[in-house]
Amino acid sequence: MIDYRIKTKENFTEKIGELVCMLEHSREVTLNEISDLNQDELDYLPNGSSNSIGSLLSHIASIEFIHQVISFEERDITKSEYLKWGTSLELGEKARELIRNHSIDYYLDELSQVRENTLIYLKTKKDSWLFEENKWDNGVPYNNYYLWFHVMEDEINHRGQIRIIKRLLGNR
């Protein structure tokens, strides 16, 4: 049963624990939405410019991985990391061709492994880390709190797309 309360998670500082609670709630709702999908449903493309549910799930994992690298390791992704995550990150035509023929367990494992690393990293941080600032290459400032808010908002946004695709699947 999903807990609808934001609380500080154990083994984290106060604000990070609240962030973890929100990240975990968002993930739990996503998992409830997709856990019974089969490969055909995961690969379904409503039209020629859509993303599949599978590619959206892979994108959710890629966004979280990229934000781990940016916020925890304070660097950009390497060429080998881009080779692994670039298609999922960018979506589009290449993702429609390459991100397919995976079972739900594949996507669940990908999401779980990335989240496990996020939680390991977050356990090492203090609340002040959330407010540490940096600048994008274009000079626009951001802080770590924003980066992790974006991870959560991106997942919620794509979960909305997943729900629409599931409705379309019901109309086939």
Instruction: Give tens-digit pLDDT for 97-133.
Output: 999 999 999 999 999 999 999 999 999 999 999 999 9
3-state secondary structure the chain: CCCCCCCCCCCCCHHHHHHHHHHHHHHHHHHHHHCCCCHHHHHCCCCCCCCCHHHHHHHHHHHHHHHHHHHHCCCCCCHHHHHHHHHHHHCCHHHHHHCCCCCHHHHHHHHHHHHHHHHHHHHCCCHHHHCCEEECCCCCEEEHHHHHHHHHHHHHHHHHHHHHHHHHHHCC
- Per residue in 9-18, pLDDT tens? 999 999 999 9
pLDDT (0 to 100) of residue 2: 76
Average pLDDT over residues 46-69: 96
Percent of the chain topping pLDDT 70: 99
Residues 6+ positions from 8 with CB-CB distance below 8 Å: 14, 17, 18, 21
- How do the domains of the chain map onto residue ranges? 14-167
- Beta carbons of 57 and 34 less than 8 angstroms apart: yes
Of the pLDDT bands very low, low, confident and very high (cuts 50, 70, 90), residue 171 is low
* Correct CATH for 14-167 of 3.40.50.300, 1.20.120.450, 3.40.50.720, 3.90.1170.30: 1.20.120.450
Residue 3 has pLDDT above 90, yes or no: no
Residue 46 has pLDDT above 60, yes or no: yes
Of the pLDDT bands very low, low, confident and very high (cuts 50, 70, 90), residue 172 is low
Average pLDDT score over the chain = 95
Average pLDDT over residues 80-100: 96
